[in-house]
Structure 1
Amino acid sequence: MCRMQAKHPPVIDPARADDGDGPLLFAALSSGDLRMTAAHSHARGQAIGALSGLLTITTERERLVVPPGYAIWIPPHHLHGLDAHGPVSAWSVYLAPGACAALPAQPQVFQVSGLLREAVLRASAWPAAGLMSAPTPAQERIAAVILDELSAAPREQLVLTMPTDRRLLKIAQALTADPADPRSLNEWAEWAAIAPRTLTRHFVSETGLSFSDWRQRARLMRAVELLAAGHAVTSVALELGYDSLSAFIAMFRREMGVAPGGFAASHAAALALP
Structure 2
Amino acid sequence: MRQGTGEITVAGVRWNLHAGAMVWVPAGVVHDVALRAGADLLSLYANVDLRPADPSWSRARVLRTDRLLSALVEHLADDAPHPGRRHLCWTLYVDLMADATDLFDSMTLPTDPHARSVAEQILRAPGDPRGIEAWASGAGVSARTLMRAFVRDTGCTFGRWRTLARLNAGAALIVAGEPVHLVAEAVGYRTSSGFIASFRAEFGTTPERYRRRLR
The reply to whether TM is greater than 0.5 is yes
Task: Give the direction of change, closer, same or farther, for the CA distance of 1:148–1:206 in structure 2 (3 Å limit).
Answer: farther
AA partner of residue 189 (structure 1): A
Taking structure 1 as the reference length, the TM-score comes to 0.68
Alpha-carbon separation, structure 1, partners of 2:134 and 2:77: 51
Is 2:208 aligned against 1:261? yes
Distance 1:95 1:206, change over 3 A: farther
Query: Which amino acid is 2:166 matched to?
Result: R
**1:173 corresponds to which letter in structure 2?**
E
Match 1:81 to one of 27, 32, 47: 32
Which residue pairs with 2:195 in the alignment? 248
**Alpha-carbon distance in 1 for matches of 2:204, 2:89:** 29
What secondary structure does 2:194 align onto? helix
Do residues 54 (structure 1) and 5 (structure 2) align? yes
Q: Deviations over 1:101-154 (max 9, x none)?
A: 53444432221122311322332334488xxxxx42x43332132223323222
Q: Partner amino acid for 1:107?
A: A
Cα distance, 1:234 vs. partner? 0.5
Any idea what SS the aligned residue of 1:87 has?
Answer: coil
Residue 18 (structure 2) pairs with residue 67 (structure 1): yes
Equivalences for residues 136-215 of structure 1 within 5 A: 136=84, 138-215=85-162
Counterpart in the other structure of 2:61: 108
Shift in alpha-carbon separation, 1:154–1:204, aligned structure 2, 3 A:
farther
Percent of aligned pairs with the same amino acid: 29
Deviates more, 1:169-178 or 1:93-102: 93-102
Does the C-alpha gap of structure 1 residues 208 and 105 become closer, same or farther in structure 2, counting only changes over 3 Å? farther
Higher strand proportion, which one?
A: 1
Question: Alignment partner of 2:205: what SS?
Answer: coil
Closer/same/farther in 2, CA of residues 77 and 145 from structure 1, 3 Å limit = same
Q: Note the C-alpha offset of 1:266.
A: 4.3
Task: Tell me, yes or no, if the aligned pair for 1:58 and 1:80 is still in contact at 8 Å.
Answer: yes
Q: Deviations 1:167-187 (Å, cap 9, x if unpaired)?
A: 111111111111122222333
Q: 2 CA distance for matches of 1:250 and 1:105?
A: 35
**Distance verdict in 2 for CA 1:177–1:87, change over 3 Å:** closer
Distance (Å, rounded) in 1 between the aligned partners of 2:102 and 2:29: 18
Unpaired stretches in structure 2, ≥5 consecutive residues? none
Q: Secondary structure at the match of 1:175?
A: helix
- Give the partner amino acid of 1:202: A
Change (3 A) 1:219 1:104: farther
Name the CA shift for 1:90/1:166 in 2 (closer, same or farther; >3 Å).
closer
Corresponding position: 1:95 with 2:46 = yes
Name the amino acid aligned to 2:76. A
Say which SS state the counterpart of residue 258 (structure 1) adopts: coil
More helix by share: 2
Q: Which runs of 5+ in 1 are unaligned?
A: 1-49, 130-134
Q: 1:121 aligned to 2:74? A: yes
> Relative to 1, partners in 2 of residues 1:205 and 1:95: Cα closer, same or farther, differing over 3 Å?
farther
Does the 8 Å contact 1:54/1:225 carry over to 2?
Answer: yes
TM-score, structure 2 as length reference: 0.84
Q: Please, which of 167, 170, 180 is the counterpart of residue 220 of structure 1?
A: 167
Say if 1:95 and 1:198 are closer, same or farther in 2 by CA, change over 3 A: farther
For residues 188-247 of structure 1, give each alpha carbon's deviation from its aligned partner in whole angstroms, at most 9, with x where no partner exists: 233323343333333123123332221112112211222233321100001111112122
Contact 2:181 2:191 in 1 (8 A): no
